[in-house]
Amino acid sequence: MLSFFGNVTKGVEIRAGLTTFLAMVYIVPVNAYIMSQAGMPYDALITATAVVTLIATVFNGLWANTPIAMSVGMGLNAYFTFGLVKGMGIPWQTALGIVFISGAVFLVLSLTKFRVWVLQSVPVDLRRAISAGIGAFIAFIGLKGMGVVVDNAATLVSLGDLSNPNVLLGIFGFVVAAVLYVWRVKGAFIISIFVTSAVAWITGLAHLPEALVSQPASLAPVAFKLNVVSALKLSLVPVILTFLITDMFDSVGTLAGVGLRAGLFKDDSRELQRTLEADAVATVIGALLGTSTTTSFIESAAGVEEGGRSGLTAIVTGLLFLLPMFFLPVFRSIPANAVNPILVMVGVLMFSELGKINFADPAVLIASFLTVLLMPLTYSITLGLSAGFVMYLLVLVVQRRWTDINVGVVTLALIGFLAFVFS
């Protein structure tokens, strides 16, 4: 084993794998909560999320030999539920078909130079705006779920009832998550979920778990329920491309960030290429087993900071995801407002990408503003992304910046225009 992974220290890699697991295990209850809002069975989603994370992360460790953990991506899972199923009225089976198609296309393209072409065509500032927009989208969903933001007939939204115990529980959970994050506590988000849940159990806002452990729930209600045929519609092409492009940008951005700190990746390195291939394979497998798009997790940086440098770290992380499947009674008893604050915190972290954008460029300024604003206001990552690309091209044309216009920018702008036509 060690000869395969190169010159690694076994103890360090195991500790790094445990650290990454603690940093990202929150995805199991959070993803199950989000996707269950689409009408999918919660219990099966707990198992599906854990199994997909295990398979994807272990596969990456074996295939790419990198310490990158993979699981269901935050943002696209929210878009899956609130944008496609609830917003567009698409059955969750068809939405899984969309995820499967986007993953299959990503897998094919990951074997070509298309990834390089896209990254060279799309300005890094627009990629950062997409991340920030998705962050705003997730945070808005979290605040609405907490009851901090509510419907208002006159103003569309307004402040919720802060005297409501459930709203106060959500605010408490957010404060706990924020404080633990600021203190750099390992496993801050999962600790926050259980601290907030404990308060809810003690105060009677939620029922205590009936048991501590149980047999894992069956995957049968969600596995292989995808409907690929119904996803093969011209009107859904922009949505499929949104999943594809966002997954690609998210993965490359995460790998660049984690790799920079560890010196793992160079441009077009074998390790980078294979990690992207593993990411694409994971999305296809995830759709088959009943989850939204799978991507590389930035929480892998926690394990890298502990010294993880090889695939052994990823394998340890993945195998540890066997554990959550047996704690179903505990996950069932977690109240929604122990989970919603984590959506807001994830949104905060993604929104920080705005600080790196060059707003002195008018094209970037206008495109970024529309991308970030429209994603939460329209409940659609597709429309926000599309508006950004269309306006970016339009401003470049008005400014006669012909050298900045390339085939990639024009193609994405045209796809964005079609998204508005079909919407």
What pLDDT digit, counting tens, does each position of 321-352 carry? 999 999 999 999 999 999 999 999 999 999 99
The model's pLDDT over 150-172, given as tens digits with 9 standing for 90+, comes to 999 999 999 999 999 999 999 99
Model confidence at 10, in pLDDT bands (50, 70, 90)? confident
- Residue found by looking up tokens 């633990």 in the block: 180
Helix (H, G, I), strand (E, B) or coil at 205: coil
Q: Which residue has the tokens 């409907």?
A: 227
The pTM of the whole model exceeds 0.85:
yes
Q: Residue 35: which pLDDT band, with cuts at 50, 70 and 90?
A: very high
The backbone region for 91, taken as left when phi is positive above 0, alpha when psi lies in -120 to 50, beta otherwise, is beta
DSSP 217: P
Print the domain residue range for 327: 2-422
SS3 content of the chain, % helix, strand, coil (to 5): 70, 5, 25
DSSP 85: I
Burial of 377 (0-12, 13-18, 19+ CB in 10 A): middle
* H and E: helices and strands count for the chain: 20, 4
Counting the structural domains of the chain, the total is 1
Q: Which residues of 16-55 are buried (b: 16+ CB within 10 A; e: fewer)?
A: bbbbbbbbbbbbbbbbbbbbbbbebbbbbbbbbbbbbbbb
pLDDT mean over 63-70: 93
What pLDDT is attached to residue 122?
Answer: 80
Could you tell me if 286 and 59 are in contact, meaning their C-beta atoms sit under 8 angstroms apart? Answer: no
Average model confidence (pLDDT) for the chain? 91
* Rg, the chain, Cα only: 21
Q: Go through the chain and tell me how many residues it has.
A: 423
CB atoms within 10 A of CB 117: 14
Phi and psi angles of residue 149, each rounded to the nearest 5 degrees, phi first: -115, 130
- Do 146 and 174 form a contact (C-beta atoms < 8 A)? yes
- pLDDT band at residue 44 using 50, 70 and 90 as cut-offs: very high
| 368, two tokens | 């970024």
- What distance in Å separates the CA atoms of residue 33 and residue 198, rounded to the nearest whole number? 18
Question: How confident is residue 412, by pLDDT bands cut at 50, 70 and 90?
Answer: confident
Residue 90 has pLDDT above 90, yes or no: yes
